[in-house]
Each structure stands twice: as structure tokens, then as C-alpha cells.
Structure 1
Amino acid sequence: MAACINLEEALKSGEHTDIDGAELCCELIFVQDSLQKSMGPLDILNYLKNRSLIYPNAVIAYIILLTIPVTVASAERSFPKLKLLKSYLCSTMTQERLTGLATIAPENDVLEKIKYEDMIEDFISRNTR
């Protein structure tokens, strides 16, 4: 309960809050019984999204918590990649491009699984004039 209240306070902006800590605690207790042990983070997120009317606070909290890095391991892994990137593209690279490449290099396996065609089609359908 204390962790849920702390999360509510952290997500508060003025008088507006994204979640209700007490309700989040109850939702997490109920959803805990229905989840399988073999479910990964994305499976749990999809499960919650499909039941967003039942667990609205849990969906918001889970999305926010999945976007926060848990450790600095990706930053530590990025230093060797940064050295390779700098030596290979040093003469033609701006700082902004180098920063972007250094950010995505450790997560290359995740990037390979992304279907860019679907993202492009979704972007086009939302932004047509």
C-alpha cells in the first residue's frame, strides 16, 4: 500500500493525479491471482490493456514503470559500442546522431524485432492531410 501511495504522489501534478494509490493496491491484489508465472512484462501489459476497464490504475502504472530503466546496465554496455561507433563514423557524425546511435546500439536485438512497415502505415494513417 505504501508503494502505491508513493507512486501516486510521484505522478501527481498540482491537484491532478494519474492514478489512485489505494485503488491501485486493490487492483494489483486482484490481478496477482489471475496472472500466470510464465508471463513476461509485455504479456502482463497486454493482459492489463485488454482489461483496462477493470484495472485502469494498474494499466497506467505498469506502462509508466516499464518505461523507467531499472538499472544502468544499458548505459554501461553502451560505452564499448560508443567507441566502435566513434571510430567508424567519426569524420561525418554530428553529436546528435552519435547520441541517438549510442542510445539504440545496446538494444539492437529489440530493434530487429520491430516491424517498421506497420509503424509507418500507422503514422501515415494518423497524419494524413
Structure 2
Amino acid sequence: MAIASLKSRFEQLKTFGSILGFLFDSEKLKSLGEKELRECCLTFHSTYTSDVDINDLYSELKVLQSTLPNTLLFATDILEFIKSVDCYPNASIAYRIFLTVLVTVAIVPVTVASAERIFSKLKLIKTYLRSSMSEERLNGLAMLSIEKELFGKHRC
């Protein structure tokens, strides 16, 4: 199951890279010609949002290609540059979407083990014998059991 989740995650990253990879760094953005940049903007617009005007995004990125410093800047640095200049609203939206999707696809854990652990612990705590337990006590025991690393290695 873990291997299947990892494969799925890498497939998502490949798809993500093919759609939004042109925003990854300044070198990639500057290397695009007019036709390639227009195609990238069209793909971005059709895939992610209609909040961005495609022609304005294309124009802003075209100007951004020439105004970015010649040093290598990654997406977060480019977004900071855009914010400091405050004249590329569509590019700002595109970079915020790019970074949000990147964080969601790349950093979110492969499994939701923490949520599963919480429900597992609740099942152990609230047995049939303790069904008359008050809500406050149940919440307290759940927190102690779930976060036992914070309280030491004592059993709840």
C-alpha cells in the first residue's frame, strides 16, 4: 500500500511538473520563448483557474522575464519579488497557486496515519465498560493517550 501511495505521489508530481513546471525557477521562466510561454499560460489557465486572465498573465510573465534579476531565483523568491514590485497581480495568483499545489503534492504525508491513530486510540479508550464516561474525562484520556510522548513513557 505504501509503495502504491508513493507511485501515485510521483505520478502527481510529474503531472504537476508538466503543467506548472515553467514557474519553478527564474531560469526555466526566462528560457521560454513567446510561443512556449503562451502554451504554458493556456495550460495553466485551463487546468487551475479562471480567476486569472490568460492574456494578462502572459503579458505579466513576458515582462517578468526581462525584469527578474539574472541570479537564479526559485518560486518563493520570485513571489517575494512580485510582492515587492506590486504590479503583477495575475502572476502573483499563479505563483501562489503553484506553491500551494507544490506543498500539497510534495509535502503532505503519504498516509493519514495520525488521524487513524487518533480513532484507534479512541476505540481503545472508550470500551463498552466505559460507555457512561463523561465527555470531559473521555477527551482528557484521549489527549493523554494520543500525545503520550509529551507526557513521558507512562501508560494511560
- Normalising by the residue count of structure 1, what TM-score does the alignment of the two structures yield? 0.47
TM-score by length of 2: 0.40
